[in-house]
């Protein structure tokens, strides 16, 4: 697992040094769905990606995120938070200057004790408020052995 993180961070570092792309950072707040809604109340995430221009309308690149699902208290029992570090490949398609469609695919490393992580996916749609600011709606899912931690989220992405 540590090797995966080292390789991902090295790839991300190399991508940031490239000259033909754009570095982006963002944050989302989400409402848990499915299995996650039973044990968590909401989710917060932060993302950084570096997208290379494949064409005027299509970009791809590495992405790394941190996702925290905040645990609920059920009766007298407090359920702890679930934390993940998704490392993924991101793709974005912009059919116009205002709208962007895309998705991330990869693996989410479980960060807290007993959290095994799992396959990570995140489709998204964004509206470009300006050249530097995008408002986005997302669905994030992490699956492992039939269980899914997922949420519908709203957030912002800043181009640097």
Its pTM stands at 0.85
What are the structural domains, with CATH classification, of the chain?
2-159 (2.40.160.20)
Looking only at the bridges linking them, the beta strands covering 58-71 and 82-93 are antiparallel
Convert the pLDDT of each residue in 113-138 to its tens digit: 888 899 999 999 999 999 999 999 99
- pLDDT over 90 percentage in the chain: 74
Instruction: Write down the pLDDT at residue 8.
Output: 54
Per-state percent for the chain, helix, strand, coil, to nearest 5: 15, 65, 20
∠ Cα 39 90 141 (to 5°):
15
Convert the pLDDT of each residue in 88-117 to its tens digit: 999 999 999 999 999 999 999 999 988 889
Lookup: tokens for 120 = 């990570």
Q: How far is CA 25 from the centre of its chain?
A: 11
Convert the pLDDT of each residue in 61-73 to its tens digit: 999 999 999 999 8
CB–CB of 84/104 below 8 Å? no
């Amino acid at each position: 697992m540590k090797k995966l993180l080292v390789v991902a961070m090295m790839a991300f570092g190399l991508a940031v040094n490239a000259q033909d792309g754009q570095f982006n950072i963002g944050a989302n707040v989400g409402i848990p769905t499915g299995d996650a809604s039973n044990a968590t109340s909401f989710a917060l995430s932060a993302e950084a990606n570096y997208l290379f221009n494949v064409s005027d309308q299509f970009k791809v690149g590495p992405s790394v995120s941190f996702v925290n699902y905040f645990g609920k208290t059920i009766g007298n029992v407090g359920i702890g938070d679930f934390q993940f570090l998704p490392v993924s490949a991101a793709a974005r398609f912009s059919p116009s200057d205002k709208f962007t469609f895309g998705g991330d695919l990869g693996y989410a490393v479980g960060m807290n004790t007993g959290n095994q992580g799992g396959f990570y996916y995140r489709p998204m749609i964004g509206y470009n408020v300006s050249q530097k600011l995008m408002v986005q709606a997302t669905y994030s899912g992490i699956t492992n052995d039939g269980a899914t931690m997922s949420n519908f989220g709203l957030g912002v992405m800043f181009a640097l």
